[in-house]
Amino acid sequence: MATVLIRLLSLATPLTATGTVRIWGAYNDHVLKKEFKVLSGRIDDLQWSPDALRIVACGDGKGKSLLRAFMWDSGTNVGEFDGHSRRVLSCAFKPTRPFRIVTCGGDFLVNFYEGPPFKCRLSSSMGLEISGFGIALPDQCDAVFTFTSSGMRLDSSVYQAT
């Protein structure tokens, strides 16, 4: 079991190498609340939604099981996550409604999902840098595209003269 422990409100979630998410009571009751097998491989990143109802987990797996978002209390899927062909290294929720999820993977793709139910809206083969609540994506043509967290839509593009 990994040493990373993610806490939200009164629940804690350790990351595992088996693809299993275990939700524990974090404060006075250290009791296992729920346990879900979400990926077929190891979990590399996990994040709770800002409203504390959903969890997104990503990592290694087979087929389409590289990324999954689900309700913490029932384990119900809340989206379809196509778009990555290799291990998904990181995932993050937009901190305000409407919810968005951004992912980056070993296939050098950055994907944006809208929901719930989450579906792929945009896929980019650019690098990723997150600053505050915005995201900047530089590409190979010396252009930088910025997205605001308010809507995960293209905010502006800035070109650097070469």
**Has residue 139 been placed in a domain?**
no
Q: How many domains does the chain have?
A: 1
pLDDT tens digits, one per residue of 83-105 = 888 899 999 988 888 888 988 88
Mean pLDDT, all residues of the chain: 75
**Has residue 133 been placed in a domain?**
no
**Has residue 115 been placed in a domain?**
yes
**Has residue 157 been placed in a domain?**
no
**Has residue 131 been placed in a domain?**
no
**Has residue 11 been placed in a domain?**
yes
Domain with 15 in it: what CATH number? 2.130.10.10
3-state helix, strand, coil in the chain (%, to 5): 0, 50, 50
Whether the per-residue pLDDT at 58 is higher than 60: the answer is: yes
pLDDT tens digits, one per residue of 67-80 = 999 999 999 999 98
CB 6: neighbour CB atoms within 10 A?
Answer: 17
pTM: 0.73
**Has residue 110 been placed in a domain?**
yes
**Has residue 46 been placed in a domain?**
yes
Range of the domain at 24: 5-125
pLDDT tens digits, one per residue of 114-150 = 988 998 887 776 544 444 445 555 554 444 555 555 5
43-48 β-sheet, strand order: 43-48, 54-59, 67-71
